[in-house]
A and B are shown apart, each in its own frame.
Chain A
Amino acid sequence: MEFLDLLMLGFGEALTPTNLGFCLLGALLGTLIGVLPGIGPTATIAVLLPITFYLPPLAGIIMLAGIYYGAQYGGSTTAILVNLPGEASSVVTAIDGYRMAQKGKAGSALAVAALGSFFAGTVATFGVAIAGPMLSSFALSFGPAEYVSLMIFGLLAATVLARGPVLKAIGMILFGLLLGMVGIDASSGEERLTFNAIELFDGIDFVVIAIGVFGFTEIIENLENVEGRGVLVSKLSRLWPTREDFRQAWPAVLRGTGVGTFLGILPGGGATLSSFCAYSLEKKVSRTPEEFGQGAVAGVAGPEAANNAGAQSSFIPLLTLGIPSNNMMAMMLSAFIIHGITPGPTVLQTQPQIFWGLVASMWIGNLMLVVINLPMIGIWVKLLTVPYRLLYPAILLFCCVGVYSINNRIFDVVLAAGFGFLGYLFRKAKCEPGPLLLGFVLGPLLETNLRRAMVLSDGSPSVFFERPISLVLLVATAAMFILMVLPSFRKTREVAFREEEA
């Protein structure tokens, strides 16, 4: 019952007018920057960080947290409406969400995303409250060897993201791995694939590639059609999800929440993996896997739930151990430190109102987001009826501003344009960009962890089999591989058959 008392303390803190106000402000700001492609929460929080000097500690932190999960909501809106994922986590949402929008079901995709996210956010928030301290010690047991096995698992799962032949998907993953290698290699200090361009020393930014191969490519392709028809292929149908949509979405939301909460705890890449893994899982358990990539509701619900759950649970290592699990959390850590609060076990004891106040505010913030976002769906969907000749210059402009603002340089904008052209060629070759992005994100993680594992084990690969978590992950990877090969073997034959007939 002590837990309930603490939660009450948290709600007491979070429900003060000041804190409620900053929670709302953060959630609104977050939604806004999430909707604007390329302007990420990391940059926004960095700019607002100095302002939090002048706020009470909890209010400042609540606002920053609100921006973070608000951006998760907003990010899926552009992914669904105009095929523009602003972050790694919404890449997957774009796959089926955008298809749904094209079919005139943008409203139900947005509603499913919002409700799924809210449910997942609620569960994960309580997860943080109940099991946070316990789960954090599990996260610590993930060493380099475990990460290597996890990344291999994730990369294999990425092949499911593509509709076409497995071979093309693997090709795209490998290309993504190659892109991930660009930059100065930290372990050797050598430049790799930089072509002597100083702008490439730190590698390519995720947003540059995502906006290129998704945003720019989409615009080129839409303009290619003589009518310049834009997003809508068929007429707008109903705004709200049908009963059938709900029936398909619920189990997916539940599974996505589980996957997201669990993977979000892992520092370094866990939260990114969650939406990808949820998507693969849905496609695997689905009775109609061929609908994935054609606008499957479960393909939106699962990953959306997973990424929101992951966003919440990535607070666990920060709050309980003082360890930020990604750049966003590192920024949150500086926000704490600016106020002289050092997150960690001590804070749990000495300043429980900070921890529990934040936990409670996260739930309130999620509630606010649903309330803000559901009525907005009508407006967002209306956006699709704007003639494309008016819509696309605006999208293009926001993309360019977003890309420029990452490092304040024009080089990145040109690079994104190059990726847009490349993405267009990929489209024509029927290669999908999803696996490429996952390869790009996971590749560097796989490489650095592999190197660490090898340095620590003195070059002996047996470390991957001796450590239990790593072994379990490898066995799971092998099982997934077998599952994949068997039915896909059958299916490719079917497809080949059909093509022969046609």
Chain B
Amino acid sequence: MKHLIRNTALATSMLVSIGAAHAEWPTDRPIEMIVAFAPGGGTDVMHRTLAPYIEKELGAKITILNRPGASGEIAYTAMTQAKPDGYTLSSLNTPGFLTMQMDRKVRFDPKKVCLVARIVEDPGSFIVQAKSQFNSLKDLVAYAKANPGKVSVGTTGLGTDEHLALLQLEKSAGIDLTPVTFNGANEARTALLGGHIMAMGINVGEFVGSEKSAFKALGQFADQRAVIAPDLPTAKEQGFDVIMSSERGIAMNCDVPEAIRTKYSDAVKKAVDNPEFQEKAKQQSLPLSYRSSEEWNKELPARAERLGEVWKLVKEQK
């Protein structure tokens, strides 16, 4: 009998403590951060680098779990299906998150995905060999006008960032380029270096970190020049309406209480501002561009609308 009483008391006190722990998010258990890409990739390395600084701000433990596949759809699905208690987050990358919803029905409910914080905005770019005759997008356009279809541009597939930028440039300049598909930027880079293609699409952040003596960039596809490439003119400055950049950030289920989302968003801001992290971001050429949950959610519809316009060009190609 004594045993029973003691056990009941123990169980009750445990229940109470669990209840109490729930109240104080986020220290109850580790926060699971689902990264939608394979370990070692740009998105993965960025989140792994940032996580310790967010941990410091929140006083919580963050574990990273890679759930790669289907451009992030698997991760978004897992995140929206998890209990909306603020202990499951996912990485979120545009334009992939937006374009996957354009063609087909996705396996998750997009209305359940709430943006929490943007960390990076990495503009697209076209690069050529360092010894190429092209020094700007204008040069490339002039050559393509004289030799329709002769300019081959490496991309990583139909409907990817680079391909969407290529379609915009074709339309804006009235030229005809030949897209060549590669499995990833590294394969395309090899082919470019070997002279098998004339140019390739790549994000500025990926380019800045690579060998400078081999390649040069022709322009960046953002509204404003990225912090890591202040000397590279935008396409707009060169007279072409091409805007294409990749954003990387964090998302949560919309059913998670707003207070928790805001708290996380603020912690990310402080982590991004940490000079130690800034130093590491510089080494990795991360074009940091923080947006709070509120700001990013406000900007996204315009981005989606523009992408919708560009996506029509993809449809025409099919």
| Residues 203-222 of chain B, each 1 if its beta carbon lies under 8 Å from chain A, else 0 | 00000011111100000000
* Known contacts A47-B39, A322-B210; A407 and B157 CB within 8 A of each other: no
Across-interface contacts of A268 in B (CB, < 8 A): 187, 190
The CA-CA distance from A140 to B194 in the complex, in Å, is: 5
- Which of A46, A317, A323 lies in contact with B38, CB distance below 8 A? A46
Is A343 interfacial (CB-CB < 8 Å)?
yes
Known A199-B69, A330-B186; contact A321-B214, beta-carbon cutoff 8 A: yes
**Which of B49, B103, B149, B158 interacts with A186 by CB under 8 Å?**
B158
A390 neighbours in B (Cβ, 8 Å): none
Interchain CB contact (< 8 A) of A337 among B77, B103, B189, B284: B284
Chain A residues, Cβ within 8 Å of B48: 49-50
Residues of A within 8 A of B197 (CB): 456
Instruction: Decide: B67 and A141 in contact? CB cutoff 8 A.
Output: no
A143 within 8 A of B: yes
CA A407 to CA B209, docked complex, whole Å: 28
Cβ-based interface call for A481 (8 A): no
Docked complex Cα distance between A323 and B211 (Å): 9
Mark contacts of A342-357 with chain B using CB atoms, 8 A cut-off: 1 yes-contact digit, 0 otherwise.
1111100000000000
- What residues of chain A lie closer than 8 Å to B77, measured between beta carbons? 198
Q: Does B29 contact A (CB under 8 A)?
A: no
Contact flag A53-B214 (CB < 8 Å), given A201-B69, A334-B45: no
Q: How far is the CB of B132 from chain A (nearest CB, A)?
A: 15
B196 at interface (Cβ–Cβ under 8 A)?
yes
Contact B280 A53 (CB under 8 A): yes
> Which of these, B44, B180, B190, contacts A455 with CB under 8 Å?
B180
**A386 at the B interface (CB under 8 A):** no
How far does the alpha carbon of A321 sit from the alpha carbon of B191 in the complex, in Å?
A: 12
A444 to B157, CA, bound (A): 14
Residues of chain B within 8 A of A327, CB atoms compared:
40
Distance from A462 Cβ to chain B, minimum over Cβ atoms (Å): 16
For B183, the chain A residues whose CB sits under 8 A away are: 186, 444, 448
Within 8 A of A (CB), among B155-203: 156-159, 178-184, 186-187, 189-191, 193-197
Instruction: Give bound CA distance, A140 to B158, whole Å.
Output: 25
A117 CB, nearest partner CB in chain B, Å: 25
Q: Is the CB of A45 within 8 A of B211?
A: no
Could you tell me if B211 and A345 are in contact, using CB atoms closer than 8 angstroms? yes
Q: Is the Cβ of A456 less than 8 Å from the Cβ of B180? A: yes
Residues of A within 8 A of B179 (CB): 455
Contacts of A288 in B (CB 8 A): none
Chain B residue at smallest Cβ distance from A409: B67
Q: Which residues of B contact A343 (CB under 8 A)?
A: 211
A66–B232 alpha-carbon span in the complex (Å) = 39
Task: For chain B, residues 11 to 40, give those with C-beta under 8 angstroms from any C-beta of chain A.
Answer: 38-40
Size band of the B side of the interface? 35 or more
B157 touches A187 (CB 8 A): yes
Is there contact, CB below 8 Å, between A42 and B193? no
- With both chains docked as a complex, state the minimum distance between the C-beta of B42 and any C-beta of chain A, in angstroms: 8
Distance of B229 from chain A, by nearest CB (Å): 15
Instruction: Tell whether, in the assembled complex, residue A140 and residue B68 are in contact, meaning their CB atoms are under 8 Å apart.
Output: no
Which residues on the B side are within 8 Å of A317 (C-beta)? 190
Shortest C-beta distance, A325 to chain B (Å), equals 8
Residue pair A323, B189 in contact (C-beta under 8 Å): yes
Q: B residues 103-135 with Cβ under 8 Å of A?
A: 103, 107
What is the number of contacts between chain A and chain B, taking CB atoms within 8 Å?
146
Tell me which of B69, B152, B190 contacts A323 (CB under 8 A).
Answer: B190
Least CB distance, B20 to chain A, in whole angstroms: 31
| Given known contacts A42-B40, A321-B214, A324-B186, A143 and B73 CB-to-CB distance under 8 angstroms | no
Q: Shortest Cβ distance from B111 into chain A, in angstroms?
A: 19
Within the complex, the shortest CB–CB distance from B205 to chain A, in Å, comes to 11
* In the complex, chain A residues 178-194 whose Cβ is within 8 Å of any chain B Cβ: 184, 186-189
A43 at interface (Cβ–Cβ under 8 A)? yes
Partner of B181, one of A46, A187, A199, A407: A187
Asked if B9 CB lies within 8 Å of chain A CBs, one says no
> In the bound complex, how far is the Cα of B282 from the Cα of A339, in angstroms?
10
* A46–B66 alpha-carbon span in the complex (Å): 11
Interface centre among B181, B197, B285 (most CB of A within 10 A): B181
A451 and B157 alpha carbons, distance in the complex (Å)? 12
Which A residues lie within 8 Å of B193 (CB)? Answer: 140, 321, 323
Q: A53-B280, A338-B283, A344-B213 are in contact. Are A407 and B189 (CB under 8 A)?
A: no
* CB nearest to A337 among chain B residues: B209
Taking A407-B69, A448-B181 as contacts, is the C-beta distance between A189 and B159 under 8 angstroms?
Answer: yes
- The answer to whether A189 and B214 touch across the interface, beta carbons within 8 angstroms, is no
Task: Confirm or deny: B98 has a beta carbon within 8 angstroms of a beta carbon on chain A.
Answer: no
Q: Is B74 an interface residue (CB 8 A)?
A: yes
Knowing A198-B107, A268-B190, A321-B211 are in contact, say whether A186-B181 is a contact too (CB < 8 A): yes
How far apart are the CA atoms of A312 and B292 in the complex, in Å?
46
Task: Judge if A142 is at the interface, Cβ distance under 8 Å.
Answer: yes
Q: Shortest distance in angstroms between B196's beta carbon and chain A's nearest beta carbon?
A: 4
Among the listed B68, B187, B314, which residue makes an inter-chain contact with A407, where contact means beta carbons less than 8 Å apart? B68
- The verdict on B70 contacting chain A, using a C-beta distance below 8 Å, is yes
Q: Are A322 and B70 in contact (CB under 8 A)?
A: no
Docked CA distance A448–B49 (Å):
34
Q: For B157, what are the chain A residues with a Cβ–Cβ distance below 8 Å?
A: 186-187, 189
Does A492 count as interface, using CB distance less than 8 angstroms? Answer: no
Q: Is A427 an interface residue (CB 8 A)?
A: no
CB distance from A460 to the nearest CB of B (A): 14
A144 within 8 A of partner (CB): yes
Give B217 Cβ to nearest chain A Cβ, in Å: 15
Residues on A with C-beta less than 8 A from B68 are 202, 407
1/0 per residue, CB under 8 A from A, across B53-67: the answer is: 000000000000111
- Are the CB atoms of B180 and A49 closer together than 8 Å? no
Would B283 and A340 count as touching, CB distance under 8 A?
yes
Return the chain B residue nearest A136 by Cβ.
Answer: B193
Rounded to whole Å, the gap between the CB of B286 and the closest CB of chain A is 11
Q: Is the CB of B214 within 8 A of A344?
A: yes
Alpha-carbon distance between A50 and B71 when the two chains are bound, in angstroms: 23
- Residues of chain A within 8 A (CB-CB) of B187 are 267-268
Closest residue of chain A to B73, judged by CB? A198
Tell whether, in the assembled complex, residue A331 and residue B283 are in contact, meaning their CB atoms are under 8 Å apart. Answer: no
Contacts A46-B39, A338-B284 given; does A456 touch B209 at CB 8 Å: no
Query: Does A408 sit at the interface, judged by CB under 8 A?
Result: yes
- Which A residues have a C-beta under 8 Å from some C-beta of B? 42-43, 45-47, 49-50, 53, 139-144, 184, 186-189, 198-199, 201-202, 267-268, 317, 321-324, 327, 330-331, 333-334, 337-340, 342-346, 407-409, 444, 448, 451-452, 455-456, 458
With A337-B209, A338-B284 given, name 14 new contacts (CB 8 A). Answer: A46-B40, A46-B66, A49-B45, A53-B49, A139-B190, A268-B187, A327-B40, A330-B186, A342-B210, A346-B211, A409-B67, A448-B183, A455-B152, A456-B180
25 A-B pairs with CB atoms under 8 Å apart are A42-B39, A42-B40, A49-B48, A53-B49, A53-B280, A139-B190, A140-B190, A140-B194, A142-B194, A186-B158, A186-B183, A189-B314, A198-B73, A199-B70, A201-B70, A267-B187, A321-B190, A333-B186, A342-B209, A343-B211, A344-B210, A345-B211, A407-B69, A456-B196, A458-B149
Question: Considering the complex of A and B, which 8 residue pairs feature the smallest CB-CB distances, nearest first?
Answer: A46-B39, A186-B157, A344-B211, A140-B194, A143-B196, A201-B70, A46-B40, A189-B158
